[in-house]
Amino acid sequence: MTKLNGTRKGCKDVFNAFLVSLATYAGFFEFPIIGPCHDGVNELIAFSMCVSSKVYNYWVHFYEDDYLFERLWRNPKKYLPILKRYNGVILPDWSLYRDMPLVMQLWNIYRSRAIGTWLQANGVKVIPNVRFGDRRTFKVCTDGLPKHSVIAVGTHGTLKNKIDREIFIKGLDVVIKRLMPTAIVVYGACPDSIFQKYRDMGIEIYHFESDFGKAMRSKKEVV
């Protein structure tokens, strides 16, 4: 059998196997392992904006539509020099919808971790973005992630719908119990009803309003 990390003459790497050439794996589905990060987070910038920005005192995030950062998967090497200019990277947030087949949800978790382990191997600080789709992903969404470290979650689009909100709350509780993070970067709404109990546990919360939220607030202020 040809190994995923192996190379064959004249064979194009359509799976981006080079991303995990130095990786170790965890869990039944063998997600690439991400090392810990203990850095504080000052400001965030979206990947689609970081490509042209001339100010680099940010952490790059991917809490935006998938099509805006799919190019990173298609050509990771092109964007490595750009990402290395910044303080660090919160790993890609490829969508995990409840109505997605499980294999697609797993693939998007894998892609985020593969990018992450490769960035770390190239000297980039990374914070894992923890995303779960339906309840089946609760079992695997933390595989390969470090304990007692900084993690990130995006809440935009997960709290308005009752079912989505319930899944987010239950999933986040599973994540916190397993990883026992020192800090959580929260992109989007950060209601006390969900996050205060984690503050009470001594977990630091870095809250950043979503770009959509900022835009809506600006419109209200103008009106």
Is 77 inside a domain boundary? yes
pLDDT at 223 over 60: no
Q: What is the number of domains present in the chain?
A: 1
SS3 assignment, position 71: helix
Q: Does residue 8 fall inside a structural domain?
A: no
Query: Residue 122: inside a domain, yes or no?
Result: yes
Residue 44 belongs to a domain: yes
pLDDT tier, 221 (very low <50, low <70, confident <90, very high otherwise): low
65: left (phi over 0), alpha (psi -120 to 50) or beta: beta
Q: What is the pLDDT of residues 90-108, one digit of tens each?
A: 999 999 998 999 999 999 9
Proportion of the chain above pLDDT 70, given as a percent: 91
Q: Of 6-15, 28-37, 74-83, 92-101, where does mean pLDDT reach its minimum?
A: 6-15
Whether pLDDT at 8 is above 70? no
Mean pLDDT, the chain, rounded, equals 93
pLDDT for 10 beyond 60? yes
- Alpha helix (H) ranges present in the chain? 47-50, 70-74, 76-83, 102-121, 162-179, 192-200, 211-222
Tokens of 140: 């695997």
- In order of 46, 65, 66, 85, 150, the CA distances from 52 in angstroms are 11, 18, 18, 12, 27
Asked whether residue 154 is assigned to any structural domain, the reply reads yes
60: in domain: yes
Residue 2: inside a domain, yes or no? no
The domain of 128 spans: 17-222
In which band, very low, low, confident or very high, does the pLDDT at 2 lie, cut at 50, 70 and 90? very low
Question: Which percentage of the chain shows pLDDT scores above 90?
Answer: 85
Whole-angstrom distance between the N-terminal and C-terminal Cα of the chain?
A: 64
9 inside domain: no
